[in-house]
Chains A and B, each alone.
Chain A
Amino acid sequence: MTEIFLIAIAVMIFVVIFQIAKASEYVSVLKGEERAKKQTNKINAFMLIVFLVLGLIGCWWCNELYYGKTLFPQGAASEHGQKIDLMLYITIGVTGVVFLITQVLLFWFAFKYQERDDRKAYYFPHNTKLELIWTTVPAIFLTVLVVFGLKYWFKMTGEAPKESIIVEVTGHQFAWEFRYPGADKILGKKDYKLTKGANGLGVDFNDPASLDDIHVAATMHLPVNKPVKLVINAQDVIHDVGLSHFRLKMDAVPGIPTTMWFTPLYTTEEMKVRSNNPNFVYEISCDQMCGKGHFSMRGVIIVESEADYNKWLATQQPEYYTVFPDKKPKPAGDVVPADSTKKPIQLSAILPSGK
């Protein structure tokens, strides 16, 4: 019922506006078109300058309302991110000045040079000197921004430090999976054709390096202040690992692994304080349209002290034992799991594809 009511009101407003507009046409004919034209000209010129003033106030007000909700106040949670924030500030500064100057000139000129009886347009078809100025000045500013940007770009996309922790990220509709390389620090090989049942990532357990690999879903743990390198995969369609607090992002493409590295600077607990939000979590958002559940493809990163991280890691059992529960050592033994060098290699008989 309310909908019908609202639609009726909208239609009525519409009809009223239309009738007023029609009437105004007749009025202008009655008044004399020249006079009516002059009047609308004045009104619109005035509106333009009002729009400029209110618009600039609006920009300021919008900033008051929403600056606090951007990521600037809490600061970037990675070294890369801090560089990006700095670059953002500089770019906002430069473009902000240009924005202000050009918009003010645009609306001010429009207002000031409205048609008047006592003034004629000034014939001014070109001026080479002026044109050269506004070719070279923007070119110089842009060169600075490009040089600055590329310096950071190469740093961010460059090789990860040797001591980096490696975590493999796999995206599929609509969740994230993570794999840690275990004690040998090497991720075991994968073959997508092995993906079956419990072996959801298609790990090749013929590769001794895979026997100690740890597979966790949805939540990734990372130690603070240690570089981490993500090796990124997708199983079905393109996804994207979006880490807004670290200011990073990288596509996950089926068949073409990508990498990205960064150093987390604050633990999740520290970020709760910095962001003034007791519920703060580092979230992984999928940033590449991937199907109907795209908006719910959420992962979480828990950044913690190295001690907590190691404690957590020790509680995780290798994926090998989840896939082949019968191979799990008997609880009595207390054996440190997954010392890959001593594992028997003749597992092929029991493997799904026999590869």
Chain B
Amino acid sequence: MSNTITSQEQDTQVVHEAHGEHHHHETFITKYVFSQDHKMIAKQFLITGMIWAIIGGLFSVLFRLQLGYPESTFPWLEDLLGHWAKGGKLQPEFYYALVTMHGTILVFFVLTAGLSGTFANFLIPLQIGARDMASPMLNMLSYWFFFLASVIMFSSLFVQTGPASGGWTIYPPLSALGDASSGSKIGMDLWLVSMAMFIVSSLLGGLNYISTILNMRTKGMSMTRLPLTIWALFFTAVLGVLSFPVLLSGAILLLFDRNLGTSFFLSDIVVAGKILPNEGGSAILFQHLFWFLGHPEVYIILLPAMGMSSEIISVSSRKPIFGYMAMVGSLFAIAILAFLVWAHHMFVTGLNPFLGAFFVLLTLLIAVPSAIKVFNWLTTLWRASIRFTPQMLFAIGFVSMFISGGLTGIFLGNSALDIHLHDTYFVVAHFHIVMGVASFMGMFAGVYHWFPKMYGRYMNQTLGYIHFWITIIGAYLIFWPMHYEGLAGMPRRYYDFSMWESFKMFAGLNQFISFVSMIVFAGQLLFVVNFFYSIFKGRKVTTTNPWGSNTLEWTTPIRPGHGNWAGEIPEVHRGAYDYGKDGREFIPQTEAVGANESHH
């Protein structure tokens, strides 16, 4: 036994020395731009994601302005958006462009790249005890492909005919035919190319995360001792690696249909008076390809938030997470089921009813592991000793949102009810709560919790509290009443409801929702200001383990350099959740199991 430890020590020593050499010739470019340090790459993902979140959020405020005040004109809007808002009124095609870009940006650029790009990069090596990712080079490329995708997507905002405007799901034929929509001209090609780059980024990242977790855990860090954050990020990466290529194929086939005259998704079409020659394609085929990614995608967004909330709830409750193995098992079950439910987005496409039944069953099955997770979080809080740091409040907010949005999933997953609720505001409310707001809550929790590790300073707590309360109150005020609009059959993606006898009675509510959304957006700017202010002026961290946490990242120096641990990588002797055991507040993973320690 002692022999192996010695050899391990020697190994790490060697690795460390190699890294030490690295440090010496670091320039501004290698440190901050083309960095191969996983921590710097994480920060690059985070800050790029935040910029996208501000843009995407601003878009939602702009189109909510139209929805809330369809009769009014805003002259300043024309100054801001030019011909998109002729006469101070957002034009329908650009309303749809904003809706489409809001969805694309938030789903892919913020809650996929910004969320798992940040935390997988930052936490995986630190929490498993590795000096860096398996391939720092691929990791760096992963960010730069994301950056390239961002640049292309951003440039599509400035083309004459506007960016893609067929919804983030880009269903053909609408997205395939320039004659059907101005957003399906060059803007759509840019969208597809940008997404192809994005998928490359996501695959490079995902492969790296998986191989790092499987191969580079420190001594003693068995899979069952991994913190739940790592388990969640692991399943997230597996989902991404297996499902993103399918979207890539869909995107490429769509590019062919658009530019090379193929008919994968096109058949029997007369558009703008022109009879198209395409025959034999299937528009529905694209939806299968899209949702084969699209559904796992919502778990790619949700799982990291689940993992981080689990970790933060346990740390802040000073109690072990209840049912660690059940938590891992339910993550696994969710990951498997995520691949088997995609057609529940397609119940009203004329799908074979028998096939539909299969998807109903599997979809509602997801509620079981979800219920296990919720009850385990609740039991973790039971008889705890809770510290309400901003991250803990956001983790509690995550659970609350996950419950609210998860339960409405039971309506939509049941195909008969989905016939009525499909593509109404009920769906908008459902997914914004369960994957939008909930994931944002998880992300905010993560940022407040690991900010001290990222920058060696704290974020301002008071601002954090204000941010939390604005966010949770505002999110419920915005999305809760939307369920009622959905129950009235009010369709989503409408520019104006005033001509509809069946829906126009919600004008007052729409105005209220728009008003609240502006306040909530402004509230998020508090977070942004707090974030950047604290990087430079925040209160300095003076202790290595400010939250009294068991995991390995808090055994590194306050501001870890490239290579993370100054000396050798610590050995792990226990799981990550020994809080409150044997009367001790917390027992770090590095502490050897005592002779008299109780077994549970």
Decide if A237 touches B174 in the complex (CB within 8 Å).
yes
Decide if A126 touches B417 in the complex (CB within 8 Å).
no
Residues on the A chain within 8 Å of B320, using CB: 123-125
Contacting B at CB under 8 A, from A139-165, are 139, 142, 145-146, 149-150, 152-154, 156-158
Q: Judge if B568 is at the interface, Cβ distance under 8 Å.
A: no
Q: Judge if B368 is at the interface, Cβ distance under 8 Å.
A: yes
Q: How distant is the Cα of A107 from the Cα of B92 in the complex, in angstroms?
A: 43
CB within 8 Å for A106 and B396 given contacts A116-B385, A126-B323, A237-B177: yes
Q: How distant is the Cα of A119 from the Cα of B371 in the complex, in angstroms?
A: 29
What does the 1/0 interface line of B377-407 toward A look like (CB < 8 Å)? 1110111111110000100100110011001
Decide if A121 touches B317 in the complex (CB within 8 Å).
yes
Q: How distant is the Cα of A125 from the Cα of B343 in the complex, in angstroms?
A: 38
Residues on the A chain within 8 Å of B357, using CB: 150, 153-154
Q: Judge if B361 is at the interface, Cβ distance under 8 Å.
A: yes
Q: Which of B92, B385, B480 interacts with A292 by CB under 8 Å? A: B92
Residues on the B chain within 8 Å of A242, using CB: 423, 489, 491
Q: Judge if A20 is at the interface, Cβ distance under 8 Å.
A: yes
Interface size on A, residues (CB 8 A): 120
Q: Judge if A21 is at the interface, Cβ distance under 8 Å.
A: yes
Q: Judge if B473 is at the interface, Cβ distance under 8 Å.
A: yes
Decide if B374 touches A149 in the complex (CB within 8 Å).
no
CB within 8 Å for A254 and B173 given contacts A44-B465, A110-B381, A150-B357: yes
Q: Judge if B324 is at the interface, Cβ distance under 8 Å.
A: yes
Decide if B372 touches A106 in the complex (CB within 8 Å).
no
CB within 8 Å for A152 and B416 given contacts A103-B403, A245-B502, A253-B350: yes
Residues on the A chain within 8 Å of B495, using CB: 292, 294-295
Q: Which of A237, A248, A253 has the most CB of B within 10 A?
A: A237
Min CB distance B370 to A, Å, is 8
Residues on the B chain within 8 Å of A142, using CB: 364-365, 367-368, 410
Which chain A residue shows the least CB distance to B460?
Answer: A21
Residues on the A chain within 8 Å of B387, using CB: 37, 41, 115
Min CB distance B107 to A, Å, is 16
Interface range on chain B (Cβ under 8 Å from partner)? 35 or more
Q: Judge if B506 is at the interface, Cβ distance under 8 Å.
A: yes
Which chain A residue shows the least CB distance to B170?
Answer: A289
Decide if A294 touches B493 in the complex (CB within 8 Å).
yes
Decide if A192 touches B269 in the complex (CB within 8 Å).
yes
Q: Judge if B14 is at the interface, Cβ distance under 8 Å.
A: no
Q: Judge if B291 is at the interface, Cβ distance under 8 Å.
A: no
Q: How distant is the Cα of A62 from the Cα of B319 in the complex, in angstroms?
A: 37
Decide if B466 touches A17 in the complex (CB within 8 Å).
yes
Q: Judge if A216 is at the interface, Cβ distance under 8 Å.
A: no
CB within 8 Å for A84 and B420 given contacts A25-B461, A113-B381, A121-B319: yes
Q: Judge if A134 is at the interface, Cβ distance under 8 Å.
A: yes
Min CB distance B253 to A, Å, is 16
Decide if A291 touches B368 in the complex (CB within 8 Å).
no
Stretch at the interface among A179-187, A204-212, A275-283, A305-313: A275-283
Q: Judge if B525 is at the interface, Cβ distance under 8 Å.
A: yes
Q: How distant is the Cα of A176 from the Cα of B92 in the complex, in angstroms?
A: 20
Q: How distant is the Cα of A72 from the Cα of B494 in the complex, in angstroms?
A: 23
Q: Which of A66, A235, A259, A281 interacts with B270 by CB under 8 Å? A: A235
CB within 8 Å for A124 and B379 given contacts A238-B171, A279-B501, A285-B502: yes
Q: How distant is the Cα of A245 from the Cα of B490 in the complex, in angstroms?
A: 11
CB within 8 Å for A121 and B383 given contacts A106-B403, A142-B367, A240-B348: yes
Q: Which of B271, B317, B419, B500 interacts with A113 by CB under 8 Å? A: B317
Contacting A at CB under 8 A, from B577-600, are 577, 579-583, 600
Decide if A22 touches B423 in the complex (CB within 8 Å).
no
Q: Judge if A296 is at the interface, Cβ distance under 8 Å.
A: yes
What does the 1/0 interface line of B177-193 toward A look like (CB < 8 Å)? 10011100000000000
CB within 8 Å for A123 and B581 given contacts A69-B484, A152-B416, A255-B283: yes
Residues on the A chain within 8 Å of B182, using CB: 292
Min CB distance B507 to A, Å, is 11
Min CB distance A176 to B, Å, is 14
Min CB distance A244 to B, Å, is 3
Q: Judge if A99 is at the interface, Cβ distance under 8 Å.
A: yes
Q: Judge if B256 is at the interface, Cβ distance under 8 Å.
A: no
Q: How distant is the Cα of A248 from the Cα of B350 in the complex, in angstroms?
A: 12
Q: How distant is the Cα of A236 from the Cα of B282 in the complex, in angstroms?
A: 13
Q: Judge if A329 is at the interface, Cβ distance under 8 Å.
A: no
Which chain B residue shows the least CB distance to A201?
Answer: B270
Q: How distant is the Cα of A196 from the Cα of B497 in the complex, in angstroms?
A: 33
Residues on the A chain within 8 Å of B174, using CB: 237-238, 289-291
Q: How distant is the Cα of A284 from the Cα of B92 in the complex, in angstroms?
A: 20
Residues on the B chain within 8 Å of A248, using CB: 419-420
Q: Judge if A348 is at the interface, Cβ distance under 8 Å.
A: no
Decide if B381 touches A109 in the complex (CB within 8 Å).
yes
Q: Judge if A87 is at the interface, Cβ distance under 8 Å.
A: yes
Q: Which of B350, B399, B577 interacts with A106 by CB under 8 Å? A: B399
Residues on the A chain within 8 Å of B283, using CB: 238, 253-256
What does the 1/0 interface line of A18-46 toward B look like (CB < 8 Å)? 10111011000000000001001100110
Contacting A at CB under 8 A, from B467-518, are 469, 472-473, 476, 480-481, 484, 487-489, 491, 493-497, 499-503, 505-506, 509
Contacting A at CB under 8 A, from B61-91, are 74, 76, 91
Residues on the B chain within 8 Å of A115, using CB: 318, 385-387
Q: How distant is the Cα of A240 from the Cα of B491 in the complex, in angstroms?
A: 11
What does the 1/0 interface line of B28-72 toward A look like (CB < 8 Å)? 000000000000000000000000000000000000000000000
Decide if B181 touches A291 in the complex (CB within 8 Å).
yes
Q: Which of A47, A120, A124, A253 interacts with B385 by CB under 8 Å? A: A120
Decide if B388 touches A17 in the complex (CB within 8 Å).
no
Q: Which of A135, A146, A236 interacts with B364 by CB under 8 Å? A: A146
Residues on the A chain within 8 Å of B462, using CB: 20-21, 24-25
Q: How distant is the Cα of A196 from the Cα of B411 in the complex, in angstroms?
A: 44
10 more contacts with CB within 8 A, not counting A18-B463, A70-B484, A107-B400, are A14-B522, A106-B381, A122-B383, A126-B324, A131-B372, A134-B372, A150-B361, A238-B171, A253-B284, A288-B171
List 14 contacting pairs A-B, 8 Å CB cutoff, sorted by A.
A21-B466, A62-B480, A66-B509, A72-B487, A115-B385, A116-B385, A124-B382, A135-B368, A249-B419, A258-B349, A283-B502, A289-B171, A295-B496, A298-B499
